[in-house]
Amino acid sequence: MLLALELLLCAVVAALGIGVAVRVLHPLPPLEPRRASHALGDTGDTPIGRFAATMAAAHPGLSGIHLLSDPYDAFAARVALIRGAVRCLDVQYYIWRGDVTGTLMIEELHAAADRGVRLRILLDDNGIAGLDAVLAALDDHPNIEIRLYNPFVLRWPKLVGYLADFARLNRRMHNKSLTADGQATVIGGRNIGDEYFGATGGAFFADLDVLAIGPVVADVSEDFDRYWSSPSAYPAERLLAPVKATELAAILGRRRTAERDAAARKYQAAVERAGFQEKLEAGQLPFDWAPTKLVSDDPAKTVGRAARNGLLAAKLVEIIGAPRAALFLVSAYFVPGKTGVDIFRGMSTSGMDIRVVTNSFESTDVWIVHAGYAKRRKALLRSGVRLFEMRRARDGETRRPSRKLLGIGSGSGLRGSGSGSGGDGHVLRGSASMLHAKTFIADNERVFVGSFNFDPRSLELNTELGFVVESPDLAAFMRGQLENAVAESTYELALTDSGDINWLERRDGRTVAHRREPSTSLAQRVGIGILSHLPIEWML
């Protein structure tokens, strides 16, 4: 035992030594001078601008909201905005993969820059693994400027950077937005990568974005400027090794290779079928018009200097107030903590109907987060909260992405464009085995869609962004769809008389009760128990 403790102590000391050495030998580069740039304000005469103005004329003061639950539609909408832009594109993401969809979208951005569109790309430096050379090549383009948010100075292995500067690097930019010509934007839960757009061979993330036009788009542009000029946004050229000009040719070659891939061809076909570009310009894409407010964190949160009233959580409380009758919450990573449990208990005591949909163990991609949630399940159930955990698709169930993935199906208006892949599944169903959406419905009156998870990391560490839409019609529709669908695609948790948890699964018209957490072994359950007792809930 003594030898083990000595070895552990030596390992800790060595790690700290490495961290100090890295910090001394690789300090952050100078932040200034940076090239000043701002959102363009004279873009009303662009094709997207004329479309937005025509649509908004009949809805003064309101923003147009088009829900994107289908993964193909979500990809097509972004591509449509990129192809439709003629003046500028502002792009902000937490994760950007170098896979099929990530490569295709990079090439779309490159093509936009070639035709004269100004691109500002702000990426969190923790989510761009393997893309340094590609980004450096793009940053050389005269119409593209890339900044890396809260960067790692040591490019590889980045993990060592955490040893050097954990307190800083543990805070990340989780925001996601793509804005074209300052006139239309896509925000929501999706990062850029195959698992977010249904391009994987198996499971993908069930997620939700919105395409918006109208006054709220100017707010997104203003918010992007806040982050772009913040002390955490470093010019990429000061961090990435320079590459040869031929690297851009290599990017084009990667796309030609990707287009020969079956998944890439499927995507090309889906984009053409969707016809988002034509629908945007022709005014044929259905929107729901409602007062819509942007909520986001002050980027000073990244350096621990944001005032409480500058945090998204405080703004949500200010805008929404306390729900009076009902709260329907969908959160991929739900870690309420003791404070959250107390808040939910108080709501439930007053007679409020509270329902939470989150990932089960079999659908989560982060064990330790699940452990933080599992620790609070019994307390939540005792307080009157109804808990639903997304289950994995069973044999015989549909295995393809569905246009009704989160309950917004085909048709028009609230039900989206229905222009995607042609599936006919239901909310949280299909090949979607992991929940990634972050949305809630309050009192059948207001809807939140964005990047904010109900966990300590979103509350205190990461920056987040989202919309609050004041639309009883939209809220009622989404709640009705979710209520109908969770019975088919989730386990409902229930306490037995002895205080144990049962996982109730509706299957073929009957209810199956699982006395142990589905799809877990004894070792896994023991592991979850151990993790749940570690003092790390604050960073989950």
Active site members: 174, 176, 181, 436, 438, 443
Inter-CA distances, 507 with 137, 404, 511, Å: 52, 20, 6
What SS3 state is found at 489?
helix
Residue listed under structure tokens 């499927």 = 266
Count other Cβ atoms within 10 Å, centred on residue 149: 26
Spatial distance between the Cα atoms of 110 and 316, rounded to a whole number of angstroms: 36
Measured CA to CA, the distance from residue 516 to residue 77 in angstroms comes to 42
Q: Which residues sit opposite 184 in a β-bridge?
A: 180, 213
- Residue whose entry in the numeric block shows the structure tokens 């040719």: 249
SS3 call for 264: helix
Task: Quote the tokens at residue 269.
Answer: 């076909």
Q: Is 1 exposed, middle or buried (0-12, 13-18, 19+ CB in 10 A)?
A: exposed
User: 499: closest CA among 410, 377, 338?
Assistant: 377
Tokens standing for residue 175: 């925001």
Ordered alpha helix ranges (H), 157-290: 159-169, 215-228, 246-259, 262-274, 276-282
Of the chain, the end-to-end C-alpha distance in Å amounts to 30
Q: Could you tell me which residues come within 8 angstroms of residue 104 by beta carbon, excluding any fewer than 6 positions away?
A: 79, 255, 258, 264, 267
Q: Are 381 and 501 contacting, i.e. CB atoms less than 8 angstroms apart?
A: yes
Burial 359-398 (b: 16+ CB within 10 A, else e): bbbbbbbeebbbbbbbbbbebbbebebbbbbbbbbeeeee
- Contact between residue 150 and residue 124 where contact means Cβ atoms under 8 Å apart: yes
Amino acid at 207: D
Residue 249: HSE in the Cβ half-sphere, 13 Å Cα cutoff: 3
